[in-house]
Each structure stands twice: as C-alpha cells, then as structure tokens.
Amino acid sequence: MNMRAPDPGPVRTTCPYCGVGCGVLATPDHLGGATIAGDREHPSNFGRLCSKGSALGETLALDGRLLHPEIDGRRVSWDDALDETASGFRRVLDAHGPGAIAIYLSGQLLTEDYYAANKLFKGFLGSANVDTNSRLCMSSSVAGHKRAFGSDTVPGTYRDLETADLLVFVGSNAAWCHPVLHQRMLAARAARGTRFVVIDPRGTATSEEADLHLPIASGTDAILFSGLLVALAERGAVFASYVADHTEGFDAALIRARELAPSVDAVAAACGVEAAKVAAFYDLFAATERAVTLYSQGVNQSAQGTDKVGAILNVHLATGRIGREGMGPFSLTGQPNAMGGREVGGLANTLAAHMEFDAESIEKVRRFWGAPRMARAPGLKAVEMFEAIGRGEIKALWVMGTNPAASLPRADAVSTALRKLDLFVVSENVASNDTVNAGARIRLPAAAWGEKDGTVTNSERRISRQRPFLALPGQARPDWWAVAQVGRRLGFEDAFGWRTPGEVFREHAALSAFENDGTRDFDIGALAGLDTRDYDQLRPTQWPARQSAVRDETRFFAKGGYFTPNRRARFVAVAPITPGAGTDDAYPYRLNTGRVRDQWHTMTRTGKSPRLGSHLPEPFLEIHPDDAAREGVADGGFARVTSPHGAVVLRAKVDPGARRGAPFAPIHWTGETSSSGRVGALVHAVTDPFSGQPDAKATPVAVAPVSFPLQGFALARSGLGGLDAAAWWAKAAAPGGHGLLFALAAEPEVAALFPHMAPDDELVEYVDAARRVRRIAMFRNGALEACLFVGPARPESSWTYLRDKLGARLTDGQVRGLLLAGRASDGAATGPLVCACHGVPKGEIERAIASGCGDAAAVGAATRAGTNCGSCLPEIRRMLAAQRVVVEA
Ligand SMILES: Nc1nc2c(c(=O)[nH]1)N[C@H]1C(S)=C(S)[C@@H](COP(=O)(O)OP(=O)(O)OC[C@H]3O[C@@H](n4cnc5c(=O)[nH]c(N)nc54)[C@H](O)[C@@H]3O)O[C@H]1N2
Ligand SMILES: Nc1nc2c(c(=O)[nH]1)N[C@H]1C(S)=C(S)[C@@H](COP(=O)(O)OP(=O)(O)OC[C@H]3O[C@@H](n4cnc5c(=O)[nH]c(N)nc54)[C@H](O)[C@@H]3O)O[C@H]1N2
Ligand code: SF4
Ligand SMILES: [Mo]
C-alpha cells in the first residue's frame, strides 16, 4: 500500500464530486489543509472549477472523520477488524451460501477499489450480489445503451457539446449539477449561437438559460421523443442509408412511435405542454444536424428510464447523428467514478470489464482471475438487495462509500432492514451518518479525497488520476487495501497480493484487453503495461486505448460497428405508459426530487463548508402557487409531505416555476443534518423493469401545512447542543462555528443548546414576553461566542448577518440594534450568498443593481459575483429582471 509522504508543491488531482471530472491543483499547507485551484491543463475544465470544487479546501478538516476501525463501538486494530470481517463472511457463506452475502458499492470509489471488491465477490466468494449506488443513478442509461448498442458505450465527447448547433437537455439541471461543462456550453453558444432546449417539468437554472423550455409532465419523455421520431420520418429527416447499413428494427420502432405519438397535438396533450412548443422543438431538431441530446436523472430515475433512453437513442440512430463531431446522445454521469464502476463491472447484472454473465465470458474471466468460485448468474439489484436484507435472506453486507439508509427509496425501511443483518460492515470516511447509525457493527476508516490514490473515469470516458496530497490520518486506509486484506484472510493471498493501486489498475487494464479482439468497446490494453512511474504520472486518457490501435478517434459508431452480434444498432419499440398513474385522492401530488447547486448528496463533505451552506440552508419543498393555495401552505411556512412510506416536514418555497401537481424537494438532508428532512423516506420503490433503477422523481404524496408558533436560530463557535424531540431543525455550517435553524412550539432550553457556556461568558439578552421574542448574544473575551434568536417570525436577516459574525467583536451599537430590532443597525444584513465562489451575498448584488449595474457583466465587474464558475449567473439575471419589473412598474 501507499504510505509515502506526499510531495511538496501543487499536486494534480481530480475533483471528487460530479462526473465532469475537473482537474484540480491542490497545494497542501502542511497543517492538514490545502489551497485548491483549477488545473488549466486538464481537458475537462481547462482551469475552471464550480462552487463545490472551489470550496474543497473547506471540507478537509478531520472533525467528524472515522479514524480508527471499530467493532461494536470499541476501537480495535485493523487486524482484528479485518479478521472479524473475513470470518464473518466465511461463516455466513458456509452456512447459507453465496446468496446470503452482498456488497454495496459507490460511484465515488476509485476504479481500483471497485475492481478489488468486484473480483473478491464475483470470482472468489461466488456471489454476484455486488451492486452500487450507480443503480440509482446510471443504470437506465447502461441498460438503454446495451439494448441499442450491444454495449454500455457513451459515443461522444465533451467537444461535441461545444461544436453542436443544438443542445437538448432532458431531465438535466446541468447549470447546477454539471456546472463547469454547462459553462463550457454557454461559452460555445456565445461564439456560435448554439440553441438550447430544456425538457424538465420544472423551471431550473438550466431552463432559465434556454431558448426553449418544455415543462412536460413527469414521466412523459418517451412520448415526446416518439413524437420526434414520427416528425423526423414525416419531414424526410431520416438518414436512410445509415439506418439501412447499420441498424435494425426501425420500422417496428416507428410503428410504435406512431401509436404513442400520432401527432403534435396528441404529444402536447399527453405531455401536458403547449403544442407550439412541441412543434418548435421538432422543427429545431429536424433542421439541425449538429444536435446533441444530453440527459441525466430526469430520464434515468424513472419507471420507464430505459425506454426514455431508448426513445432518445432512436432519434439519433434514425438521423445518423451519432459519433460524429457535434452530434450524439450524451448521458451525463453523476458521480466522479460512475463510469469507472461500469468499466469494472460493478453492477450486479454485469460480470466484469463490460462482460456479461454468458458462459463464454464467465470462463474467460475465470481463467484470467484464476478464480475458484465464479458467480454464474446476475445478483440482486440495489432495491431487491435491500428487500432481501429486510426478509433476512441476505445476512452479511459490506457497504462502501455510499449512504443507502438515506439515498435508497423507502429509506426508513432500509434503515430497519440493516438492523437485521448478522454481519454489517461499513467502510466510511465519516464516523456518523444515517447508514453507520443503522447498526453497522464493523466500521472501517477509509481514505478520503486528498488521501486517496487511484483513478476515476468521467462522463466522456476519460480516465484521470486522483492523487494524494495529504497523509493518511489516524488509521484510515484505502478501500482497495481493506478488500485485499479480507481476500488474503479468506485464503486468496496471490489473487489479492497487490501492494500498490498501480498494480490493481494494471490488472484491470489487462482484463479489459484479455481476449478482446475488438469484441468489447471497453479496452484500455494500452495502459496495462504502465510501470509505477507511468501510473503516477498518467495524464487524463480517454478510452478506447487499445494496445495496438492508433489513438486518434475516440468517438464511437459514426460508421456503425455496434457491439451486437450482427454489429447493427437496435431501434427500440418503447412500451406505452399511462402518464400520471399512481396518484389518487389520498396522495394526489407527484414528488419530484433532485439536487441543489451547492450541496453534494447526503452532505457528508459539502455540509462542512460555510460558503456552500449559505445558498440554501434548509430542506425545502418547491411548490406551485396553485397547489400551495389549495393546501393552505404559505411561502416561508412549513409543509408536511407524506407518502405511504414515510413523512417529512420541509420549509415551503412557493414558486411559479414549479410544475402544478409536482412539487420538488432536494435530497441532501438526512437524520444527521435535519429533524425531518429525510426525503428518501418518502420515495416509493417502483423500479424500471429493465434496469432496476428506482423511479425517484415521481412518488405519489400528500402535502399539508404545518405551523410552528416560534422560529429562530442558534449559532455557536463550538459545542452546539440540541432541541427537544418535537422541534423542527436543520444544521447549517457557519464560518467559525455551527448553526441551527429551527421552528418549535415552546422556547428552547438555553442550557441544552449551549452546553459549553462558561461562567464568565458575558450574556446580553433582550426579551419581549408579550411578543414571545427572545434574543441572546453570548460573548467570550469580548468576541461573539454564541447567539440565540427566537420569535414568531422568521429571523432571516439576522441569521444571514450573524452567521458570519461568530468570533467577531461587535460594537455596542451593533449589539443593541440586533437585539432590540432583530436586525443589523449598520444596514449590513446582506442575505444568503448568491455567488459561493467569491462569497457575494444577495444584498450586495441588489445594491450593485440599484446603483446602475444593468447586466450580469456589470454586476460581475462591480462585485465579482458570477465571474468564477458562473453557476450563479441565472440567479443574478433573475434578480436583474425582477429589478427591471420594479423600475418599470
Ligand atoms: N450540485 C450538485 N451536483 C451534482 C450532484 C449533487 O449532489 N449536487 N450529484 C451528482 C450526481 S451523482 C448526479 S446523478 C447528477 C444528477 O444531475 P441531474 O440529473 O441534472 O440532477 P437532478 O436534480 O437529480 O435532476 C435533474 C432534473 O430532472 C428533472 N425531472 C424530474 N422528472 C423528470 C421527467 O420525468 N422528465 C424530465 N425530462 N425531467 C425530469 C427534475 O425536475 C430535475 O430538474 O448530478 C451530479 N452533480
Ligand atoms: N429521492 C432520490 N434519491 C436519490 C437520488 C435522487 O435524485 N432522488 N439520486 C440518487 C443518485 S443519482 C445517487 S448517485 C445517490 C447518492 O447517494 P449516496 O451515495 O448514498 O450519497 P453520498 O452522500 O454521496 O454518500 C457517500 C458516502 O460515502 C462516503 N465516502 C465518500 N468517499 C468515500 C470513499 O472513498 N470511501 C469510502 N469508504 N467512503 C466514502 C461519504 O462520507 C458518504 O457517507 O442517491 C440516489 N438517491
Ligand atoms: S463541475 Fe464542479 S463538482 Fe463537477 S467536477 Fe468540476 S469542479 Fe467538481
Ligand atoms: Mo448519481
């Protein structure tokens, strides 16, 4: 394993968040932190970083880290933890067979970690119960690719997004979720006039930048794209010779498309969107050869996800717009190594290295691995896996790099199921999250970003190195190492004898090329011979990277050459659907879920950053004004959202951009960070029939108002305590401390909230008993140590003001103004950060606009807002537009 001290100077590594895969230059400060900059030489970002990437330095502190192996809450040695893990799996395997063991992996692991885990379970323990959170993320794309192409191939490259004339975003909020790539597309548009079409039920930062937004009813994408196929056929836009030479099944697909989508009007009615918009989209697509369709979770996370992918691929196959400059379908991957996991074969229904569970592949892989006990059939997919755990059929589980007790559908049922396991092992960076807290007996401390050493593959098939720039803290170790150690303890010394991640990578690369001969798309044989130095210095490399081939073309399928038996692509006749099915009187709404700009998943890392915590600090429900009025939910009030599986309470954001009947909630808050914001608890376990991917964006729910007599917040530099069980709360990182936003029925206990209050802390208090207002500021050695604001109204401006003041020395006037009036007397209450990169709050941008800045560029020049990653530009433009309305009115 790699224990060498990190080299001084900037280290080239890769961002651990989204699938864009930006290159990062990290310069360690030798105090455990680092300064972070974009890598100008990396072909994903050419130096840019988004707000999350820029804030990586704020996530490196060791508080909250799991730093030592533990069994039953006791600190133990690695030897003991590994012995116990190995013997536990051995015991369950011997007693109940390979169907009783499972491992649940993550697209945030390195390829090397993934490879080791897949090999151990599928080749040496005989179990294909190896699944991953990519099941919740990319599996419909994988299934759709395999069905149409015979392989899980992303045909295009990022460059195509810059050389296209039309970009169609389907179920993608790229402005927030793939920000640097979105910025590249916007820059290209400025140069060549690219048209943007966004297909998303709700208005988003991405749709705000679009020329055309189709706010379709959720789940109706396959109808929209079937209608497009019909329209292309009618307009003679089909590329007949490509269809004839390289595909099959076109006629059947078109017949089905005509049944589903006979006319523009029929599409408009089924999709719940204006016919003129549908027609405009079809016209644009038919007329624009250089068209890329980008899609993400609005497509994948659906009961018809694979068919949605199929309907999108159909229109690209029909027009031959695939694998050529500026054209093609493009699945945007979510996690930094979603692609690496697919390459390794880390899904339960693939074997390894883009090989399936056919007899020939099983034999091939068996020989390559020298494997004693091959899994011979696909294992259980994530949702089924956790259901089998709930039924007691799977008895031993290892969770690595994911938080299923928060992120799986029916998350409360998942937490309950986890407690039934005989053996529950978690490899984690953090000491506490919803999964660890669901009864993990063995806790293995994993290396985190900055310490990890290996490779990841981004959305365009580009393999980049994650390099360590910090020493491994405490007893933390790489995940591949822990897997290998367990493999050795189970008697497989040779097969798991790797000493470095480079050795694992070389083996992975060799397997990709093993008896491949052009039969499999995934071939990185050219990298199988890297020595340690080459591996350490590996530059971002796109595959295919075959041993023999000249490496010039990295796109696929411009001239056919699909990986089906007859090398033809298969058109898919998509299945009919019933839009809106599943809702009823008890659960009349469809809950849409997804992401916000500045948080990453369950917030174990981004939740540490004060800058990132400022933009949207609380779990919320975005709801259309008509729906809110019907249910009596007020803007800024609270809404209880209930499904048959669970309930949450969220701050209501009444927003005309929401689609009627389809409120939206972000997925980021958990039991760690909120009292009742676990949105995963609501989500139904409906899955796509081909991919097994959960339909996470359309759960039938009920919405009802909740009111709390009191609201407020607490801030403390250290040791913020808790509230009673009936209170609503959300944690938010604050500069120099911690914050808690809350709502409750009775005044909170000061002593319980501030357990670290010292006798000589100076307490300044304002109480207005009649109005139920109470404001406390606590000073230690003259600096603001903690504060508590409680009252009937939402104390927003004092929160945003005081959040930045922990540790500050306030003037008497400031203190008085705050405590008496509940707001800053110096007019400095500035609102949430709009620009997280440069820390520019809303108030400052409003002042810039009021003082005459007429466009986003002027605002940028005056305040720096929007001049780094640009993710906040849609919001700045919205503020400019609102200002214009005010001025004109
Ligand atoms: N800031 C941030 N960025 C991230 C992540 C993060 O946690 N935070 N996570 C990363 C990961 S792992 C992933 S998978 C990606 C996800 O990236 P995206 O898929 O872009 O993000 P989501 O917000 O999950 O969903 C995208 C949109 O799908 C829409 N949608 C819902 N139902 C439908 C439908 O039926 N049809 C259509 N056309 N649209 C629909 C939603 O309204 C939503 O706006 O983001 C990655 N990037
Ligand atoms: N309702 C709903 N549910 C969803 C989604 C949705 O849109 N709506 N999106 C789905 C999607 S696309 C995804 S990708 C998932 C994400 O869901 P999760 O994967 O459950 O979310 P994360 O917070 O990323 O969890 C990663 C965990 O691994 C730890 N970790 C990070 N790096 C490492 C490492 O290198 N080694 C180890 N051992 N641990 C590490 C982190 O501390 C964290 O606890 O959520 C899915 N669930
Ligand atoms: S776009 Fe942002 S989150 Fe994604 S890889 Fe780049 S810096 Fe990281
Ligand atoms: Mo994802």
Q: What is the pLDDT of residue 549?
A: 64
Q: What is the pLDDT of residue 801?
A: 86
Residue with structure tokens 């933890």? 81
Select the highest-mean-pLDDT range: 533-537, 760-764, 826-830. 533-537
Pick the atom of ligand 2 nearest to 433's CA: 44
Cβ partners under 8 Å of residue 889, min gap 6: none
Residue 452 CB–ligand 2 contact under 6 Å? yes
Supply the DSSP string of 644-658, one letter for each residue: TTEEEEEEEEE-TTS
> Is residue 143 predicted with pLDDT exceeding 70?
yes
Residue 301 pLDDT level (bands cut at 50, 70, 90): very high
Supply the DSSP string of 733-760, one letter for each residue: EETTEEEEEEEESSPPPHHHH-TT--TT
CATH of 139-331, one of 3.40.470.10, 3.40.228.10, 3.40.640.10, 3.40.930.10: 3.40.228.10
Q: Kindly give the interhelix angle for 411-418 and 382-390, rounded to the nearest 10 degrees.
A: 50
Residue bearing the CA closest to ligand 2, atom 46: 407
Q: What is the pLDDT of residue 108?
A: 98
Q: What is the pLDDT of residue 16?
A: 98
Q: Kindly give the interhelix angle for 250-260 and 221-234, rounded to the nearest 10 degrees.
A: 120
Ligand 3 test: best mutation among 17, 39, 173, most atoms within 8 Å of CB? 17
Residue 491 pLDDT level (bands cut at 50, 70, 90): very high
> Is residue 831 predicted with pLDDT exceeding 90?
no
> Are 158 and 21 contacting, i.e. CB atoms less than 8 angstroms apart?
no
Residue 461 CB–ligand 2 contact under 6 Å? no
Ligand 1 centroid–CA 417 distance in Å is: 27
Ligand 3 centroid–CA 218 distance in Å is: 27
Identify the nearest ligand to the CA of 172 by its number.
1
Pick the atom of ligand 1 nearest to 595's CA: 23
C-alpha dist (Å) from residue 562 to 315, 317, 521, 745 = 16, 12, 9, 63
Written as six digits, the tokens of 341 are: 């996991």
> Is residue 3 predicted with pLDDT exceeding 80?
no
Chain segment 91-104, per-residue pLDDT in tens: 999 999 999 999 99
> Is residue 200 predicted with pLDDT exceeding 60?
yes
Residue 889 pLDDT level (bands cut at 50, 70, 90): very low
Chain segment 384-404, per-residue pLDDT in tens: 999 999 999 999 999 999 999
Question: Range with the lowest mean pLDDT among 12-21, 452-461, 538-547?
Answer: 538-547
Identify the nearest ligand to the CA of 602 by its number.
2
Ligand 1 test: best mutation among 51, 141, 177, most atoms within 8 Å of CB? 177
Written as six digits, the tokens of 702 are: 């009920």
Ligand 3 centroid–CA 211 distance in Å is: 25
The CB-side HSE value for 796 (13 A sphere, CA atoms) comes to 14
Cα 9 to Cα 12: distance, rounded to the nearest angstrom? 10
Residue 868 pLDDT level (bands cut at 50, 70, 90): confident
Sign of the Cα pseudo-torsion (410, 411, 414, 419, in order):
negative
- Segment 851-878 mean pLDDT: 89
Cα 543 to Cα 547: distance, rounded to the nearest angstrom? 11
Residue 54 CB–ligand 2 contact under 6 Å? no
666 versus 832: the higher-pLDDT residue is 666
Residue 659 CB–ligand 1 contact under 6 Å? no
Q: What is the pLDDT of residue 492?
A: 98
Ligand 4 centroid–CA 408 distance in Å is: 12
Domain ranges of the chain: 70-137+339-515, 139-331, 589-706, 710-821, 833-888
Q: What is the pLDDT of residue 825?
A: 55
Ligand 1 test: best mutation among 697, 699, 837, 872, most atoms within 8 Å of CB? 697
Q: What is the pLDDT of residue 1?
A: 45
Question: Range with the lowest mean pLDDT among 157-171, 338-352, 539-553, 554-568?
Answer: 539-553
Cα 844 to Cα 267: distance, rounded to the nearest angstrom? 45
Which H or E run contains 700? strand 699-706
Cα 258 to Cα 635: distance, rounded to the nearest angstrom? 43
Residue bearing the CA closest to ligand 2, atom 30: 401
Percent of the chain at pLDDT > 70 equals 97
What pTM value is reported for the model? 0.95
Chain segment 172-181, per-residue pLDDT in tens: 999 999 999 9
3-state secondary structure of 81: helix
Pick the atom of ligand 3 nearest to 51's CA: 2
Q: Which residues line ligand 3 (CB under 6 A)?
A: 15, 17-18, 20-22, 45, 49-50, 52-53, 178-180
Residue 221 CB–ligand 1 contact under 6 Å? yes
The CB-side HSE value for 880 (13 A sphere, CA atoms) comes to 16
CATH architecture of 70-137+339-515: 3-Layer(aba) Sandwich (3.40)
- The fold for domain 833-888 equals Arc Repressor Mutant, subunit A (1.10.10)
Residue 735 CB–ligand 2 contact under 6 Å? no
Chain segment 633-644, per-residue pLDDT in tens: 999 999 999 999
Cβ partners under 8 Å of residue 111, min gap 6: 337, 340, 341, 343, 344, 454, 455, 456, 457, 463, 505, 508
Residue bearing the CA closest to ligand 3, atom 1: 180
> Are 427 and 482 contacting, i.e. CB atoms less than 8 angstroms apart?
yes
Please provide the average confidence, as pLDDT, over all residues in the chain: 94
153-185: buried (b, 16+ CB within 10 Å) or exposed (e) per residue?
bbbbbbbbbbbbbbbbbbbbbbbbbbbbbbbbb
CATH architecture of 589-706: Beta Barrel (2.40)
Same fold, 139-331 and 833-888: no
Neighbours of ion ligand 4 (CB under 5 A): 137, 334
> Is residue 887 predicted with pLDDT exceeding 70?
no
Q: What is the pLDDT of residue 796?
A: 82
